[in-house]
């Protein structure tokens, strides 16, 4: 028996049918081993190692320690049983970096004594599977090395930077993907906060022919529209700030005089159909047309996949297999119109360099697509609607271009120019079936009549409108996914969980489908971009991918790249050390507009507080940062429940004061009193517990310095097993022996002091205390 291992159990049935007798197909259910999530997941002998928390011994060639994924234990056991009976093992995990790594981990886990080969295919058809069987190869260890590098970068990045955020609030996190995704949302919110809206005027005329013409030039000067103002409300060069008075003047003129048609231009255009769906474009369209969230799209698609209706839904390749192309063309011919098919099939390739393309596009599965009537009968409503979208998109992708003409009319009155534009389709092509981004085929532009240049056009009604420039729109879920995808950040299997993650951490909130950053999210972004700019750069992942490609091609070693990433100049550990050297100042992320009003926002225990001259209130969760104007802030400060700013309420809690000579300085309350911890070293601190919250770094260091001159042992007197110390503290010199103490006159000559004398003094002191008691 030959054992074939794939990732997804959904593939087992079909592959088995193509392989026939003598083969058993089983699934790994994804990755089977990973770095330990916490040190307790390691075998006991490693738990006290300095690298135990990271799971990577960075000083020993970045050696990773892998543990079995506990949730997969039943499946792993099954694979172990099967592999012990197998005569040969074929590792048929996905044909990408992660798939190669899964195969390698399986090999480490199963330790088979029989021959092992890697088997690769890009579609599940009889011919593709047979071809794969004839082209078996060994594991590509360079590709495995690239994956392991990626894993190490993510672990080191996430586990080294996240703890820095725990001063802001518990359980906060940073990561290569999530922090950049958050940065996008947070920066958009900040743009909106700092946006200065500006008023501008527009003028539209409804003509006797029923089309509307818009004023573009006033006395031959181009009228400013919303696009002519920058985010601060400044007018760009070349645009004319058209006023209400001028608009009313033009409107009055139009009541008396007609417009003259000055130009009638027509340009032909063609439109190509959109490419077949990949994960991100499917999410986008399911959101726009069906109102699905990213999560819901994936859940519904999973059901369609399991029901055998569609190909795999987590893909970054828009390419159709031969089977898919033929299926789409056949369906167009059968259910629509063979005239809509181009002579040659259309071929699609990913525009994204980081795409791994282990799967084909998302399309109806099989050689013969299940038609919509059949689907209607078999599927639940949501599933049908998504299937219909996928079906039409796939068919449209194989249809001919749409063709038409774009017409623009220019009309004139006294050098005031107006334009009206319209589109006419001569060939709808793929648009008969599918139009991207729209529910139905909408009219684009006006219906324009046939006219001659020089014709007069009467205006029936003129509308003067007061407009306001709009701040940049917030991201929607799929828009953020698409932006990430274009930047090569994240993978199809993770898009939905990226959103869930930054939401459950309280970094962003969603209302319907639009996303906005919370104050916590904005604070985290400000901190990270200020302290670790290189790691928050939008191109960081793309750069990493280049290096991973080099590793995969054998041009660079894993060790070389990780050393660069971690140890070399600008590397993570270097930047972390530099951060720890800095005077530990709190990052102020209060937007300028609020700061100018004397307001301050800070995060305390994960909660955003608004403060002004010592008074502070909690900012309600429901208030979007964009909506916190200085006026709203005053209202909150007036009404809200006042709380103490930076109140280290539990005075016994330890607190970082800052950094001294590269060592973290922490003040805390021990069982027997306050202490200062400088690096790993403890120092006694003589303050009342209530004073701890008010300690500054300088003051605490001074006090510790003073305390360290205390209690120095000046002399030790030994006699047999007895020992008496002469010590000094801030009150003076004293003798100490066990729990007995006695003061010593200042200026006593220590050189001459004998054990016997000291012992006598201690005894007398105890006697005199007893008497008094």
Report how many residues bind DNA under the rule CB under 7 A: 80
Site for DNA in 714-743 (CB under 7 A): 727, 729, 731, 734, 736, 739, 741-743
Bridge partners of residue 423, in order along the sequence: 406
- Give the phi and the psi of residue 128 in degrees, each rounded to 5: -65, -40
Using the rule CB under 7 A, is 431 a contact of DNA? Answer: no
Q: Which is nearer to DNA, 98 or 285 (CB)?
A: 98
SS3 1: coil
Which segment (169-177, 225-233, 400-408, 627-635) binds DNA by CB under 7 A?
169-177
Distance of CA 642 to the CA centre of its chain: 34
- HSE, side-chain direction, 13 A CA sphere, residue 268: 6
- Interacting span for DNA (CB under 7 A) from 111-119, 170-178, 232-240, 418-426: 170-178
Q: Which residues pair with 240 in a beta bridge?
A: 223
Stretch that binds DNA, among 149-157, 219-227, 524-532, 583-591 (CB under 7 A): 149-157
Convert 388-440 into a string of H (helix), E (strand) and C (coil). Answer: HHHHHHHHHCCCCCEEEEEEEEEEEECCEEEEEEEEEEEECHHHHCCCCCCCC
Least distance (Å) between residue 111 CB and DNA: 20
Q: Contact between 323 and DNA (CB under 7 A)?
A: no
State in angstroms the smallest separation of the CB of 605 from DNA: 11
Are the C-beta atoms of residues 259 and 227 closer than 8 Å to each other? Answer: no
Query: Is 770 a binder of DNA (CB under 7 A)?
Result: no
d(CA 634, CA 52): 49
Q: Which residue lies nearer to DNA by CB, 176 or 192?
A: 176
Q: Is 558 in the site for DNA (CB under 7 A)?
A: no
Q: Is 175 near DNA (CB under 7 A)?
A: yes
Report the SS3 class of residue 88. Answer: strand
71 binds DNA (CB under 7 A): yes
Please tell me whether residue 572 adopts helix, strand or coil conformation: helix
709 binds DNA, rule: CB under 7 A: no
Picking from 585, 642, 608, the residue whose alpha carbon sits closest to that of residue 169 is 608
Kindly state whether residue 188 participates in binding DNA, applying the rule CB under 7 A.
no
Select 8 or 326, whichever has its Cβ closest to DNA.
8
Between residue 325 and residue 354, which ones bind DNA under the rule CB under 7 A? Answer: none
Stretch that binds DNA, among 176-184, 317-325, 336-344, 464-472 (CB under 7 A): 176-184
Residue from 83, 179, 287, 365 binding DNA (CB under 7 A): 179
Residues 6+ apart with CB under 8 A from 717: 723, 724, 725, 726, 753, 754, 755, 758
Return d(Cα 486, Cα 481) in angstroms, integer.
9
Residue 337 to residues 323, 329, 334, 341, 411: CA-CA distances in angstroms? 20, 10, 7, 8, 41
Residues 6+ away with beta carbon under 8 Å from 133: 19, 90, 119
Establish if 103 lies at the interface with DNA (CB under 7 A).
no
Residues 516-545 that bind DNA (CB under 7 A): none
Q: At what angle do helices 178-194 and 477-486 cross, to 10 degrees?
A: 120
Which residues does the annotation mark as catalytic?
A: 312
Residue (118 or 329) nearer to DNA, CB: 118
| Binding pattern for the stretch 26-45 against DNA, x by CB under 7 A and - elsewhere | -x-xxx--xx-xxxx-----
User: Shortest approach of DNA to residue 33 CB, angstroms?
Assistant: 8
Would you say 425 or 741 has its CB closer to DNA? Answer: 741
| Least CB distance to DNA at residue 118 (A) | 16
To DNA, the closest distance from the beta carbon of 450 in angstroms equals: 56
Instruction: Compute the least distance from the CB of residue 267 to DNA, in Å.
Output: 43
500 binds DNA (CB under 7 A): no
| 265 touches DNA by CB under 7 A | no
Residue number with CB closer to DNA (19 or 742) = 742
**Which of 318, 492, 521, 591 is close enough to bind DNA by CB under 7 A?**
492
In this structure, the number of other CB atoms found within 10 A of the CB of residue 470 comes to 10
Nearer to DNA by Cβ, of 42 and 400: the residue is 42
Residues 284-303 that bind DNA (CB under 7 A): 302
Site for DNA in 400-419 (CB under 7 A): none
Binding to DNA in span 750-769, by CB under 7 A: 769
Closest approach of DNA to the CB of residue 240, in Å: 48
The site string for DNA over 643-662 (x = CB under 7 A, - otherwise) reads: ----------xx--------
Residues 668 to 707 in contact with DNA, rule: CB under 7 A = 668, 670-675, 682, 684
65 binds DNA (CB under 7 A): no
Alpha carbons within 13 A on the beta-carbon side of 520:
27
Task: Work out whether 711 is an interface residue with DNA (CB under 7 A).
Answer: yes
Please give the helix or strand (H or E) that residue 217 lies within, else none.
strand 212-218
Distances (CA, A) of 415 to 216, 272, 418, 432, 581: 10, 39, 9, 42, 67
Q: Which range, of 94-102, 203-211, 407-415, 635-643, touches DNA by CB under 7 A?
A: 94-102
**Dist. CA 218–CA 18, nearest whole Å:** 72
Scanning 236-244, 443-451, 663-671, 693-701 for contacts with DNA by CB under 7 A, the matching segment is 663-671
Pick the closer one to DNA by CB: 209 or 295: 295
**Assign residue 274 a region: left if phi > 0, alpha if psi is -120 to 50, beta otherwise?**
beta
Contact segment (CB under 7 A) with DNA among 4-12, 131-139, 229-237, 611-619 equals: 4-12
Determine how many CB atoms are found less than 10 A away from the CB of residue 535: 20
* C-alpha distance from residue 703 to each of 149, 668, 745 (Å): 47, 14, 25
* Nearest distance from C-beta of residue 423 to DNA, angstroms: 40
**In sequence order, which residues have a C-beta less than 8 Å from that of residue 24 and are 6 or more positions away?**
1, 2, 3, 4, 16, 82, 86
C-alpha to C-alpha distance for 404 and 443, rounded to whole angstroms: 13
Q: Is 250 exposed, middle or buried (0-12, 13-18, 19+ CB in 10 A)?
A: buried
Q: Are strands 416-427 and 212-218 parallel, antiparallel or unpaired?
A: antiparallel
Q: Binder to DNA among 4, 5, 7, 286 (CB under 7 A)?
A: 7
Q: Which is nearer to DNA, 83 or 178 (CB)?
A: 178
Locate the DSSP E strands across 92-208: 116-118, 199-207
Q: Which of 171, 461, 486, 699 binds DNA (CB under 7 A)?
A: 171
Q: How far is the CB of 368 from DNA (least distance, A)?
A: 23
Question: 57, 62, 54, 63: which is closest to 156 by C-alpha?
Answer: 54
Contact pick of 132, 142, 151, 529 for DNA (by CB under 7 A): 151
Residue range at the interface with DNA (CB under 7 A); choices 92-100, 281-289, 524-532, 626-634: 92-100
Q: Please list, in sequence order, all residues whose beta carbon lies within 8 angstroms of the beta carbon of residue 258, skipping any fewer than 6 positions away.
A: 413, 456, 457, 458, 459
* Nearer CB in complex with DNA: 343/773: 773
> Strand, helix or coil at 273?
coil
From 260-268, 327-335, 486-494, 636-644, span contacting DNA (CB under 7 A): 486-494
- Does position 174 bind DNA by CB under 7 A? yes
CB of 711 to DNA, least distance (A): 3
Q: Applying CB under 7 A, which of residues 314, 392, 431, 479 lies at the interface with DNA? A: 314
- DSSP code at position 445: B
d(C-alpha 765, C-alpha 743), whole Å: 8
Among 422, 490, 521, 608, binds DNA (CB under 7 A): 490
Q: Does 365 bind DNA (CB under 7 A)?
A: no
Q: Is 173 in the site for DNA (CB under 7 A)?
A: yes
């Amino acid at each position: 028996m030959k054992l074939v291992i794939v990732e997804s159990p959904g593939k087992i049935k079909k592959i088995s049918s193509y392989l026939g007798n003598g083969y058993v197909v089983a699934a790994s259910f994804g990755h089977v081993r990973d770095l330990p999530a916490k040190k307790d997941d390691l075998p006991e002998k490693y738990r006290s190692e300095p690298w135990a928390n990271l799971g990577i011994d960075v000083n020993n060639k970045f050696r990773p320690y892998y543990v079995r994924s506990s949730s997969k234990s039943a499946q792993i056991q099954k694979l172990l049983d099967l592999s012990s009976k197998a005569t040969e093992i074929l590792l048929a995990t996905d044909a990408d970096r992660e798939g190669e790594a899964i195969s390698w981990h399986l090999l480490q886990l199963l330790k088979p004594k029989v021959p092992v080969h890697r088997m690769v295919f890009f579609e599940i058809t009889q011919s593709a599977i047979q071809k794969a069987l004839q082209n078996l190869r060994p594991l590509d260890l360079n590709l495995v090395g690239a994956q392991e590098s990626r894993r190490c970068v993510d672990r080191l990045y996430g586990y080294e930077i996240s703890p820095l955020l725990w001063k802001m609030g518990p359980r906060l996190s940073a990561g290569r993907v999530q922090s950049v995704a958050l940065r996008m949302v947070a920066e958009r919110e900040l743009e909106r906060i700092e946006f200065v809206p500006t008023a501008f005027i527009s003028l539209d005329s409804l003509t006797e022919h029923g089309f509307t013409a818009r004023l573009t030039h006033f006395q031959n000067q181009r009228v400013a529209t919303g696009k002519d103002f920058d985010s601060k409300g400044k007018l760009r060069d070349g645009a004319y700030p058209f006023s209400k008075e001028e608009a009313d003047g033009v409107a009055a003129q139009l009541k008396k005089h007609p417009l003259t048609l000055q130009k009638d231009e027509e340009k032909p255009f063609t439109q190509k159909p959109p490419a077949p769906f990949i994960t991100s474009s499917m999410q986008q369209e399911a959101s726009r047309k069906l109102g699905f969230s990213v999560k819901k799209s994936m859940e519904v698609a999973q059901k369609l996949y399991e029901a055998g209706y569609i190909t795999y839904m987590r893909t970054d390749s828009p390419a159709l297999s031969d089977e898919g192309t033929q299926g789409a063309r056949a369906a167009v011919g059968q259910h629509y119109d063979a005239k809509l098919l181009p002579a040659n099939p259309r071929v699609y390739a990913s525009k994204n360099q980081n795409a791994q393309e282990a799967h084909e596009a998302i399309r109806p599965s099989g050689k013969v697509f299940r038609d919509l009537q059949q689907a209607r009968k078999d599927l639940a409503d949501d599933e049908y609607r998504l299937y219909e979208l996928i079906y039409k998109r796939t068919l449209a992708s194989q249809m001919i271009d749409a063709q038409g003409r774009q017409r623009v009319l220019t009309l004139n009155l006294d050098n005031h120019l107006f334009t009206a534009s319209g589109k006419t389709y001569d060939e709808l092509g793929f648009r008969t079936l599918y139009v991207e981004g729209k529910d139905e085929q909408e009219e684009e532009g006006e219906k324009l009549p046939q006219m001659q240049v020089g014709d007069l056009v009467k205006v029936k009604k003129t509308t003067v409108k007061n407009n306001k420039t709009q701040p940049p729109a917030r991201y929607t879920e799929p828009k953020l996914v698409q932006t990430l995808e274009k930047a090569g950040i994240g993978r199809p299997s993770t898009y939905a969980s990226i959103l869930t993650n930054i939401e459950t951490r309280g970094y962003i909130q969603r209302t319907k489908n639009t996303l906005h950053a919370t104050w916590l999210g904005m604070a985290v972004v400000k901190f990270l971009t200020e302290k670790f700019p290189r790691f928050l750069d939008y191109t960081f992942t793309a750069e990493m991918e280049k290096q991973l490609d080099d590793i995969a091609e054998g041009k660079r070693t894993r060790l070389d790249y990780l050393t660069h990433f971690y140890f070399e100049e600008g590397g993570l550990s270097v930047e972390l050390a530099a951060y720890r050297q800095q005077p530990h100042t709190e990052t102020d992320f209060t937007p300028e507009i609020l700061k100018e009003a004397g307001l301050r926002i800070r995060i305390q225990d994960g909660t955003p507080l608004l403060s002004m001259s010592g008074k502070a209130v909690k900012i309600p969760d429901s208030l979007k940062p964009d909506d916190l104007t200085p006026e709203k802030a005053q209202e909150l400060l007036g009404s809200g429940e006042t709380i103490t700013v930076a109140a280290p309420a539990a005075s016994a809690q330890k607190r970082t004061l800052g950094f001294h000579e590269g060592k973290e300085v922490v003040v805390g309350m021990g069982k027997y009193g306050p202490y200062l911890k400088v690096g790993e070293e403890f120092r006694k601190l003589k303050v009342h517990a209530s004073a701890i919250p008010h300690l500054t770094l300088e003051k605490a260091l001074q006090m510790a310095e003073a305390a360290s001159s205390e209690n120095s042992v000046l002399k030790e007197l030994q006699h047999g097993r007895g020992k008496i110390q002469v010590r000094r503290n801030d009150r003076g010199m004293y003798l100490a022996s066990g729990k007995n103490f006695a003061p010593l006159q200042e200026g006593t000559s220590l050189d001459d002091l004998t054990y016997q004398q000291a012992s006598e003094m201690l005894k007398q002191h105890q006697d005199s205390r007893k008497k008094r008691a």
